[in-house]
Amino acid sequence: MSVDSADIERRMDGALATLKTDLGGLRTGRASASLLEPITVDAYGQQMPISQVGTITVPEPRMLSVQVWDKGQVPMVEKAIRESGLGLNPMADGTLVRIPLPELNEERREELVKVAGRYAESARVAVRNVRRDGMDQIKKAEKDSEISQDEAKSLSDDMQAMTDKFVAQIDELLQVKEGEIRQV
């Protein structure tokens, strides 16, 4: 059969894993290098993860730094961090970009909750795209007479159940993260 449920589930799981990584970077009290990992930099004519243009370190509990390998990329790294929506204000010092983390006041917490919400929505969209691919595979298999109409209906129901399961997990992760962020 041309419909690979295990592959579909693996891809949905990948979207969930990406969300966990992204949310893990939204630290509530202490600086974490993973906070910058979702950021991409316009380097050498393409979008690259920030970790591929410099080394991210945590020199102090409320400070991150990026040691940029190519001096010409420093302004791009600064711009990417500033425009990331994380509310960070980087400062360049030669090839070192220092990023002081603002104190977590109420306004900052709400910003982080919004960022977490955007990450969760991206994960939901990714899961729905995988579902759409799976549904297309089912329709094609049915059209090519590889599976019966009943099998197609059953597989479609399974696909929707799998999608609902992953979306529920995404919502649960978001709820937990929002609770962590809002906790004073």
3-state secondary structure the chain: CCCCHHHHHHHHHHHHHHHHHHHHHCCCCCCCHHHCCCCEEEECCEEEEHHHCEEEEEEECCEEEEEECCHHHHHHHHHHHHCCCCCCCCEEECCEEEEECCCCCHHHHHHHHHHHHHHHHHHHHHHHHHHHHHHHHHHHHHHCCCCCHHHHHHHHHHHHHHHHHHHHHHHHHHHHHHHHHHCC
- Below-50 pLDDT ranges, the chain: 1
Statement to judge: residues 86 and 109 lie in one domain: no
CATH of residue 78's domain is 3.30.1360.40
Q: Are residues 164 and 147 in the same domain?
A: yes
| End position of a domain, from candidates 70, 85, 100 | 100
pLDDT for 108: 77
Q: Percentage of the chain surpassing pLDDT 90?
A: 32
pLDDT at 85: 76
- What residues pair up with 97 in beta bridges, in sequence order? 66, 92
Together in a domain, 111 and 176: yes
The reply to whether 50 and 91 lie within a common domain is yes
Whole-angstrom Cα distance, residue 100 to residue 164?
39
Do residues 96 and 109 share a domain?
no
d(CA 162, CA 168): 10
> What pLDDT does residue 159 have?
92
Q: Are residues 118 and 167 in the same domain?
A: yes
Give DSSP secondary structure letters for 133-177: HHHHHHHHHHHTTSS-HHHHHHHHHHHHHHHHHHHHHHHHHHHHH
Question: pTM value?
Answer: 0.68
Residues 144 and 81 in one domain: no
Q: How many domains does the chain have?
A: 2
Of 100, 118, 144, which one is at a domain's C-terminal end? 100
Of 58, 76, 100, the residue that ends a domain is: 100
Question: Same domain, yes or no, for 144 and 109?
Answer: yes
**93 and 34 in one domain?**
yes
- Residues of the domain holding 84: 30-100
